[in-house]
Structure 1
């Protein structure tokens, strides 16, 4: 693990967790990353390893067997797992979104039923907000949940659902009053519910080891007790959870960028041209200066967003700034890493090729770059 690593000091516990997860990422995640990407299969053995480290309970309260991580620890885990493979970090972050929703909004009965097992890794969680015609503006969603006695009947379609094929329990957002956006409500829906239909796995540019699908609800009946928020409180709940999620994505972008930097640094020290290693060529050295600066600036933005959250401050702007800047930095750094590798960087046998493809999604999921800029401007102006 290289890089200058400037920034706020970690506690002894946070530093130990960082070292532990980094070691796991290097020894258990990275070795199989290329094969998982090529085969488009999620490495379940890695997931089992995360469970053994108690990381699948990252956002589960201790009383339900979870890790109950503070915001900085959550970011550290995301950064270091993305250092190994972004698809693994993404799967865990979405699972953590689901457990966060249950922990914050679920009844005591739902918490007791789901959180202890989810903390142990199964069932795997999903987060179902986006739709084919409602991505950046979830208020336009068309999925409905109609009350029928002691049940709700869900109809509609969700899109781009991470853990969609391997997941067991979904957090679903739907309108309880026709097309009224003020009626959006949050529900817990087990994947084995009749009418819960999983679509084909999407073929993607990057993040290919992560299963991404569409999910259709066809007269999908769930008990009324599975409603997580009051009717009409679902969208505000989603935004609150996603603010924390954006810190995780920003941290993932930092980890991915750091991995690409380290790969390029090692390669540049070994590759010789013009009778010298290419890390002695000034134009290449300048690339490393820019890459390192963007990585460290991104890491500082993430840490500041975490600090504000832990201090009870409104970190909406800080989280959006971190997500916007870090994802942009990940694209820049992975691009430069490929360039430093030259022709080899374009070959799939080198990790930087996968990292370059993976980096793009950090500018899109959990709020595009354009949405982050909109949030920042709205709060500032």
Structure 2
């Protein structure tokens, strides 16, 4: 059952994001520490909440989830919200939960204040869904680790100041990978420019290269061999945060479509009077409501220390596919006007195309759900 406390989206943090609504759409520039949008978001306290150890994790978690929902509702830039989710989950969450007290004290203040941006490097050209196939290595050499390899599809990579990089430290299997925090200016780390994306245009994504990159052992996040434990937690939070932003986007799109079908007239009546149109609106409403409950239910179960592997996978699949379906329906409901670039509805479809792919493809998520039931290899 969903705890009613998890269904309230009227937190002060969410409200502050709502009040700054015009700020989120004031430009289309990529995130950066000196970007007014990034600074405005850090000033709401969103990043600070992620690392506020005076509050229980469950309280922080639901606060962030509702804040991301409001950001998704207010901000028309899906790339910006995705960059925010990556900074929150893949960097702040990883460091807050697993890093040493010394490392947290060193790096979190600037990340929380928005003065630095974090990125997350796990995928490789031949190791995407099969993360255990990664070939990037981290070899212990005295007080340091020496990292060698190549990473691909690094969200926030071209603009990041610090990277959480996953590398193989020994052997095979889940205990063979470790996580490291690496500064952008570390010798041996080369960050490439952004690769143009079909959608999520302001989400800067690109590869990086590690060649004899020497990282102090104090920059290890968690213990050696705990990389997949870090990654498992991080990916759950990334899904909850980024896909709740998608729920907020669905809410905005639905409201826009309802206004349109009430106002647009054909054959001397509003097009919403036609059953084909009204049923499409009803389907959009159902997808939105179910998506929202999927995320909130997973968060509520996580707060009770339940295993939410299946819950999060189900939420990821359902929300991503509902987001795409609603984005396409929004274009169709607007007819020819919906296909005009100026409406932004086509951009919504392009953004939504990525959702079944990132944060673990939906095919991988379905396999995970089956495995939790003892089905499949």
TM-score by length of 2: 0.91
| Counterpart contact for 1:151–1:223, Cα < 8 Å | yes
* Shift of residue 181, structure 1, vs aligned partner: 6.0
User: Equivalent of 2:18, from 10, 18, 22?
Assistant: 22
* Shift of residue 220, structure 1, vs aligned partner: 1.0
User: Equivalent of 1:49, from 34, 40, 55?
Assistant: 40
User: Equivalent of 2:357, from 338, 350, 364?
Assistant: 364
Aligned-pair Cα RMSD in Å: 2.4
What is the total number of aligned residue pairs between the two structures? 368
Q: How does 1:176-187 map onto structure 2 within 5 Å?
A: 176-177=169-170, 182-187=175-180
Q: How does 1:295-314 map onto structure 2 within 5 Å?
A: 295-314=288-307
Q: How does 1:188-207 map onto structure 2 within 5 Å?
A: 188-207=181-200
Structure 1 match to 2:132? 139
CA distance in structure 1 between the partners assigned to 2:49 and 2:270 by the alignment:
43
| Counterpart contact for 1:263–1:352, Cα < 8 Å | no
CA deviations 1:47-79 (Å, max 9, x no partner) are: 11101111123411246x999952222221222
Structure 2 match to 1:78? 68
CA distance in structure 1 between the partners assigned to 2:366 and 2:173 by the alignment:
27
Structure 2 match to 1:3? none
CA deviations 1:88-134 (Å, max 9, x no partner) are: 22111111120111111111110101112211112111111111111
| Counterpart contact for 2:152–2:207, Cα < 8 Å | yes
Q: CA 1:41 to 1:118, structure 2 compared with 1: closer, same or farther past 3 Å?
A: closer
| Counterpart contact for 2:92–2:108, Cα < 8 Å | yes
Q: CA 1:122 to 1:178, structure 2 compared with 1: closer, same or farther past 3 Å?
A: farther
Answer yes or no: is 1:244 the counterpart of 2:234: no
| Counterpart contact for 2:340–2:346, Cα < 8 Å | yes
Q: How does 1:322-361 map onto structure 2 within 5 Å?
A: 322-361=315-354
| Counterpart contact for 1:60–1:67, Cα < 8 Å | no
Q: Which runs of 5+ in 2 are unaligned?
A: none
Structure 1 match to 2:87? 95
User: Secondary structure, in 3 states, of the residue corresponding to 1:362?
Assistant: coil
Q: Which runs of 5+ in 1 are unaligned?
A: 1-5
* Shift of residue 263, structure 1, vs aligned partner: 2.1
| Counterpart contact for 2:166–2:227, Cα < 8 Å | yes
CA deviations 1:155-175 (Å, max 9, x no partner) are: 111111111122111111001
137-146 or 261-270, which deviates more? 261-270
* Shift of residue 266, structure 1, vs aligned partner: 2.2
Answer yes or no: is 1:221 the counterpart of 2:224: no
| Counterpart contact for 1:82–1:88, Cα < 8 Å | no
